Amino acid sequence: MKVIVCENYDEMSKEGAKIIASLLKNKPCCVLGLATGSTPVGMYKELAGMNRAGEITFKDVTSFNLDEYYPLEPTHEQSYRYFMNVNLFDHVDINKEHTHVPDGLAKDPTAMGEAYDAAIEAAGGIDLQVLGLGPNGHIAFNEPEEELYAGTHLTSLTESTIKANSRFFASVSDVPTKAVTMGIGSIMKAKKIIVLASGKGKHAVVEKMLSGRITTMCPGTLLLAHADVTLIVDRDAYEG
């Protein structure tokens, strides 16, 4: 795993954007795996700026997001579809019909999950997957557990994740207790992965990832088994 240590959040965001921009220049019709959460917001802003300046284009890009709350309608202000529109898609020249987010209203989440993974494969697989880290080490919504799913699936959120994510909702009781999420296999099939982590709250997870040991109880460590992962951290996440 390659590690890039940045001084602060802005630098981390610029580093991440640089990697995505260089892929967009080399392969304009690439497939991006995208993440939500506060961590990638700055990077998305950078990318929107580069797009406005004419340095990069998203017009031939296809994207697949990692996860979505369940059940939650895509128009809900806390849905991840809404997040992606507001933080990236509305500010770049991407064709929204080529952007995908798991269906948070799927009647049959198992069938939806299988179709989602099949759609990723049909698009040629993910060229570059962006990931954040949950404070408990989760990636997407793959929570620490003894057994993890390979494919996109319906999952229950842990108490700690519900609490951590309640900052975006009016109250803890408004946070959905379930989500549909890409599985570890869906993520690990990406050709290249960048992981962003900022702030002291992520230090414990970053430290585990740097320990060289792998455990499903900290899903972020599973990335150590991937051939092309770049961890981009700010100093607070790196040093604690």
| Given 33, 42, 132, 137, the residue binding ligand GLP (CB under 6 A) | 132
CB of 232 to ligand GLP, least distance (A): 13
For the question of residue 15 being annotated catalytic, the response is: no
CB 29 within 8 A of CB 127: no
Tell me: does residue 140 bind ligand GLP (CB under 6 A).
yes
For the question of residue 136 being annotated catalytic, the response is: yes
Tell me: does residue 183 bind ligand GLP (CB under 6 A).
no
Q: Would you state the torsion angle of the CA atoms of residues 218, 113, 159, 39, taken in this order, to the nearest 10 degrees? A: 60
| Given 16, 50, 62, 67, the residue binding ligand GLP (CB under 6 A) | 67
Question: Residue 17 is encoded by which pair of tokens?
Answer: 């954007």
Q: Would you state the torsion angle of the CA atoms of residues 27, 99, 139, 119, taken in this order, to the nearest 10 degrees? A: -80
Tell me: does residue 165 bind ligand GLP (CB under 6 A).
yes
CB of 217 to ligand GLP, least distance (A): 17
Tell me the C-alpha distance between 189 and 220, whole Å.
15
Tell me: does residue 218 bind ligand GLP (CB under 6 A).
no
| Given 44, 116, 141, 238, the residue binding ligand GLP (CB under 6 A) | 141
Tell me the C-alpha distance between 181 and 155, whole Å.
7
CB 163 within 8 A of CB 172: yes
DSSP for 124-160 reads: T--SEEEE---TTS-BTTB-S-SS--SSSEEEEPPHH
The active-site residue, picked from 51, 65, 136, 165, is: 136
The active-site residue, picked from 138, 142, 234, 236, is: 138
Q: Which residues are catalytically annotated?
A: 67, 136, 138, 143
Q: Which residues bind ligand GLP (CB under 6 A)?
A: 35-39, 66-67, 132-134, 140-141, 161, 165
